Amino acid sequence: MTPYDPTADVIEVRRGPNPGGPASIYRVFGETLRGLKTTLGRVVEGPVTMEYPEQKTPVYPRFRGRHKLHRFEDSGLEKCVGCSLCAAACPAECIRVVAAENTPEHQVSAGERYAAVYEINMTRCIFCGYCEVACPFDAITMGNDYELADYTRSDLVFTKEMLLADPIEKTPLRREGE
Partner 1 sequence: MTPLLADVNYVEGTLVMIAKSLIIFLFVLQVVPLILLLERKLLGRFQSRIGPNRVGPYGLMQPLADVLKLLSKENSVPNTAVPWMMALAPVISIFCAVVTLAIIPFGDNGAWGGNFGLYGIDVPIGILFYFAFGALAFYALMLGGWASGSKYSFLGAMRSAAQLISYEIALGLSLLGVVIQAQSMSLTEIIHAQHNLWYIVPQFIGFCIFLVAGFAETNRPPFDLAEGDSEIVGGFNTEFGGMRFGSFFMAEYINMIVIAGIATAMFLGGWHGPGPAALGPLWTILKMLLFIVLFIWVRATLPRLRYDQLMSFGWKVLLPLATLNVLVTAILVAT
Q: Is 48 in the site for partner 1 (CB under 8 A)?
A: yes
* Minimal distance, residue 48 CB to partner 1, in Å: 5
- Rounded to whole angstroms, what are the CA distances from 66 to 15, 27, 146, 147, 157? 52, 55, 6, 9, 12
Residue 47 in the binding site for partner 1 (CB under 8 A): yes
Instruction: Compute and round to an integer the Cα radius of gyration of the chain.
Output: 29
Q: How far apart are CA 150 and CA 47, in angstroms?
A: 31
Of the candidate spans 32-40, 55-63, 120-128, 145-153, the one that interacts with partner 1 by CB under 8 A turns out to be 32-40
How far, in Å, CA of 81 to CA of 109, rounded? Answer: 6
By CB under 8 A, tell whether 98 contacts partner 1.
no
Contact 78, 114 (CB under 8 A): yes
Judged by CB under 8 A, which stretch of 10-18, 31-39, 110-118, 162-170 contacts partner 1? 31-39
The answer to whether residue 32 forms part of the interface with partner 1 (CB under 8 A) is yes
Q: Is 9 in the site for partner 1 (CB under 8 A)?
A: no
Site for partner 1, residues 10 to 29, rule: CB under 8 A: 25
Question: According to DSSP H, which parts of 76-177 are helical?
Answer: 85-89, 130-134, 160-164
Q: Which residues bind partner 1 (CB under 8 A)?
A: 25, 32, 35-36, 38-40, 42-43, 45-49, 51
